[in-house]
Structures are given as C-alpha cells and as structure tokens.
Structure 1
Amino acid sequence: MSRTTDVAAPDQIAYLDTAAATPVGLDYKRRLVEALDVRPGQTVVDLGCGPGTDLAALADAVGPDGTVLGVDHEPRMVTEAGRRFADRPNVEVRAGDVRDLPLADASVDRARVDRVLQHVPEPARAFAEARRVLRPGGLFAMAEPDWDTLAVADDDVATSRRFARFSAGRVRNATMGRELVRLAVRAGFRTRSVEPVAVLFQDFGTADQILGLRRNAARAVQAGELAEADVRAWLHRLETGPTLAGFTFYLVTAEA
C-alpha cells in the first residue's frame, strides 16, 4: 500500500504505551499524579485504565497499605492490565463502564481519568459516577485533549487545516479538554486547578505515531476531504523536515 492509502489503525495497547513513553507523555502523567496528592494507604481508581500503563505510579504512591483499582470496559485491556500487575497485591483490575462504576458510594479517596472521556458517550454520566464513588473531599484528576486546537505547520496551510478538521471530526468528544471544568462543576465538584499543556512534536516519526499523520490523511483522501497529490506533497515536506505539530491538552483537578 502507498503511504496515503494505508488507513490501518495501530494496535491499541502499543499505541497507549508509546504515547505514555514520549517526553510530553511522561511529563504530563507525572504532573497529573502530583495534582492528585495521593497519600499512603489511600484508595485510588483509574477510570479507563487501559493496559495498566499508569497503575504502577499510583501503586507506588499509595504504598503497600493502599489500594489501586483499575477499571476498563474492554476485556483485552482488563486481561493485559491484570497480567502486568498480577504480582502487585495492592492493584486490582475490574471490568466496568466509567458511566456505571463497579464501586460503592464514597469508597475511594482519589479518582483519575486520562484521555478516556474524549471517547465516552454521555460523558456527564462518567462525571456523576466519579462524584458518587469519591469520599467527601476526595480529588478527581483529569487529562484530556482539545482536538480543535490541532495544528500542523506547513507551507500548504489549507491542507494542514483540512487535515486537522478531519482528524478532530473522528473523535466523539473532540473538545473534551475545554469542557472538563464545566462538566465537573455540573456534577457537583469544586475546581481546584486548570492547566493547559502545549503538546508539541518536532520529530516526524513520533508525530505520525501519535497524531496519525499518514493514517488520517489517507482516510481524508478516501473521504474526498483532501486531494491525493496535495497529501503526498504535504507528507513529503513534513517527513523531510522540519516538523512541528501539536495541540492543547488540559489537566484539571476537582474536589468532591
């Protein structure tokens, strides 16, 4: 297949692990854990834990007397996270929907969600559930992108704009980052902090992996949103450099 006709999605587990290992991924995840202010002995739930990418940091923070609960609705993710943490007695992975958590009322001290709410139907239900399971004074830390801010630097500004618009249109809740505060307040939370983070990629390979430059451009061509010749030239310039692409990510902490 040519570069502009290959639309195969990456393996989901590999994609999540790769994104977490990028410099910007490592940085914002560290800051999100710090914002949670996790204490030894507490109970923390990771909503939409995926393959368990972030459970280790939480398990270290709560210590041997605390508990980390990972919840995910995809059986493959639950299996993989359970496998990775089979030897960590303070980590438990459960199958469940973030809109209907398998947890009792006021049963956790901290809740965390990372790049999950952008994909969830009826995200307000997930906020209501987080509020329900948190104890009074508990903290909810959220990290979500705002895909409307996606920008790719290139001489062909029109193609970059069409690519960004098409890519954002493929995400269920593309503007979730900017909506976190509003949804949290409506669910009964009090906002403690809001931090915009500029996510920038200057390496074509990393930008392609995380933003799907080739993949989404190929889909846009198939959908008739972009011209094949324009995309080929656009990708060639990006690949030969310099590359600059990014979007805004929001880190929000709220108190129950």
Structure 2
Amino acid sequence: MSSALGVSRPDQAAYMLRAAARDAGRAYKQQLLDLLDVRAGHTVLDVGCGPGTDLPALAERAGATGSVIGVDQDPAMLARARERTDGLPRVEFREGDAHDLPVAPGSVDRAKVDRVLMHVADPGEVLAQLHRVTRPGARIGLAEPDWDTLIVDAEDLGTSRAFTRYTTAAVVRQATIGRALPRLAERAGFRVETVLTTTPLFRDVEEADYTLGLGRNLERAIAAGHIDPVRGRRWFTDLSDGSFYASFTLVSVVCVR
C-alpha cells in the first residue's frame, strides 16, 4: 500500500481548487457556467465562493459593466479568493452566512451555489434566500453530489457498502442533497429548467483517497463501530492491489426566478 494513502484531512482551500482542476470538475463547472448564460452587465452572485475558484470566469463573462459578488462565511477563504482575483475591479466580497445572505433583495441577475448545500443546516432556507436576492427572470445554477451513489469497487463488497452508508450517515451533513435539488428549487419558488448528471470517476487510488477521504473516513467508521477494524483495514489495503474504480453522481440544476 502506498504511504501516501490514508492522508489526513487536507487544507480546505487546496482541496477545493484541486477538485475543480480534475477533468470531471472542469467539465461540470463549464457546463454549469454555460447554462447560467452570464452576460455583460449582469450582477452575479457566487454563494459559498470558497477560494474563488469560479470568480475569474464569472467576472470575464459579466464584463466591464457587470459585477460579481462572492459570499463566504470563512474569512480565510475570502482572503484566498481576494488573492485569486487580484486585479479584477468588478469583483467584491462579503462575509456572511448562506442562510442570511448580505445582498439586497432583487439585485442579482445570475447566481450559483456549487457543492455548498451539502454542508448547510437548512438547504431550503438558502434557496429561499436566493429567491429573495434575485430579480424576476434571474437564472440560478446549483450543483451538488449525491453521496448515496458513492461506489468503491472491491472484492469485499460488504465493506464498500458499509463505507458508503457511513459517509451518508455521519460524514456529509446533507448527503443526498443532489437528488433533492429539483424538488427544493421548485418549493423555493423557482422554475426548474435543466437537470443534468455527471459521474466523477476515479481510477487512481491516491487521488480517490485524497478526494473521497477513503482512509480518514474509514478510521472514523471503525472508531464509531460501523466497520470491523480487521476487515476494514484489509479492505483499504486491498484497494491498492490492481485496477481501482470509484465514482459518484453529481447533479446540476439550472432554474429561473
């Protein structure tokens, strides 16, 4: 087994940037940006902007007459985002909670929420906030994983399934939010226009360990009594033996205010 496996929880900003740089990350982000149809002069909101992964692309599309607002509750993330967008005069940052957006009502033409709702306490309230701050006719892009669909190939299928069950039950706050996006968006008052799925695929076990937290979450599952220690650690070691496969489903939704 590679000594690189079982890495501790990575720096969150570095993690987000690395995930976005993968082929699957670039593909769904490009698709979501295209469907958002950001145009010159638009005011664009990125909720949970993190280290500013998507802000330069949004600013380029909004042009010199538009503006981009990045909102995040983590000052460290906002600091990274400011560094990433240095020299882009039409990008501004606001520290705040997605449940209480620091944005004026009816002031936003386009908004995106990318892999944020799975972490929040109340996704419905966040979507209600988006309805409050967007103008009639505004387009909103949402993208979230459905961790119930996490597949890790192994001869010990029972432990793979137990790992997925633990991930959905204890690791991710809103683990099945991906499948719920259309329903929740309609409940918040939006008209759902497009629903798409992509399947991020991992063939490199070290990349999967880093991104999916295979080793660190396995140890949590063992400590919590969800997976037998001997069987679980044998499962983890065997993942490096031969061909590796893991995947999950990511759901993207574009809706209109």
Shorter-chain TM-score above 0.5: yes
Measured in 2, the distance between the counterparts of 1:183 and 1:203 equals: 34
Shift of 1:94: 1.0
Match of 1:190 in 2: 191
Aligned to 1:85: 85
Which residue number corresponds to residue 181 of structure 1? 182
Distance 1:65 1:190 in 2: 28
State the shift of 1:36 in Å: 0.3
- The separation in 1 between residues aligned to 2:206 and 2:28, in whole angstroms, is 20
Matched residues in 1 for 2:134 and 2:87: separation?
27
Find the counterpart in structure 2 of residue 228 from structure 1. 229
TM-score, normalised with respect to structure 1: 0.95
Map 1:141-152; keep pairs closer than 5 Å. Answer: 141-152=141-152
Alpha-carbon distance in 2 for matches of 1:6, 1:242:
18
Q: Which residue of 2 aligns with 1:59?
A: 59
Instruction: Give the Cα separation in 1 of the matches to 2:84 and 2:21.
Output: 17
Residue 211 of structure 1 and its aligned partner are, at CA, apart by 0.5
2 CA distance for matches of 1:32 and 1:24?
12
| Shift in Å, 1:210 | 0.9
Equivalent position SS for 2:200:
strand
Aligned length: 255
Question: Which residues of structure 1 form unaligned runs of 5+?
Answer: none
Aligned-partner Cα distance in 2 for 1:136–1:149? 35
1:65-94, CA deviations, whole angstroms, 9 ceiling, x for partnerless residues? 211110001111112212222311011111
Name the SS for the 2:174 alignment partner. coil
Runs (4+) off by over 2 Å: 5-8
* Letter aligned with residue 124 of structure 1: G
**Counterpart residue number, 2:68:** 68
Aligned partner letter, 1:85: T
Partner of 2:112: 112
RMSD over aligned CA atoms reads 1.7
Matched, 1:218 2:233: no
- The answer to whether the 8 Å contact 1:7/1:219 transfers is no
1:114-159 per-position Cα deviation (integer Å, ceiling 9, x unaligned): 0000011111111011111111100010000111111111110000
Give 3-state SS (helix, strand or coil) of 1:121's partner.
coil
Kindly state the Cα deviation for residue 7 of structure 1 after the two structures are TM-superposed: 7.3
Q: Structure 2 regions of 5+ residues with no counterpart?
A: none
What residue is the counterpart of 1:95 in the other structure?
95
The answer as to whether partners of 1:143 and 1:250 remain within 8 angstroms in 2 is yes
CA separation in 1, counterparts of 2:247 and 2:134?
Answer: 34
Distance in structure 1 (CA, Å) of the matches to 2:74 and 2:115: 15
Shift of 1:225: 1.5
SS at match of 2:240: helix
Partner secondary structure for residue 240 of structure 1: coil
- Residue aligned with 1:106, SS: coil
Q: 1:41 & 1:240 partners in 2: Cα distance?
A: 53
- What's the CA shift for 1:231? 2.4
Alpha-carbon deviation of 1:212? Answer: 0.6
What CA distance in whole angstroms lies between the structure 1 residues aligned with 2:7 and 2:25? 24
**Corresponding residue for residue 42 of structure 2:** 42
Letter in 2 for 1:69: I
